[in-house]
Amino acid sequence: MNKELTTLTKSKLVLQSEINSLISEGKCKYLIKERNYAAPVGLTAKRDLKNAAKGIDEWVELDKGNAYVLTNYKWILIDNFGSSQLHVDFDTLYCNE
């Protein structure tokens, strides 16, 4: 998920394993924690990811940031036909590098 999402967003993906050191070193700061976004249904997993990436980039820009940490994601069934919707949870950041 992280690898694919990185190629689809304009914002920088910061890995959860890196965030504590980047914050403590003053290289990044949190802007908004626990943001969640339900991506519009894209009919395919790839399209769902593109829609999620667009939403993440929009929120990062609105928050005046340039990076994000993906904290969780899940596809949720939305009807009896097996259609699903991608939900992503993330924090927005401003990073110096």
Task: DSSP letter for 83, please.
Answer: -
80 against 21, higher pLDDT: 21
- Most distant pair of Cα atoms in the chain: their distance: 49
Distance from the Cα of residue 81 to its chain's centroid: 27
Q: What is the pLDDT of residues 13-23, one digit of tens each?
A: 999 999 999 99
97 against 8, higher pLDDT: 8
pLDDT at 44: 80
State how far the alpha carbon of 50 is from the alpha carbons of 22, 40, 74, in Å: 27, 10, 15
Q: Are 69 and 87 in contact (CB under 8 A)?
A: no
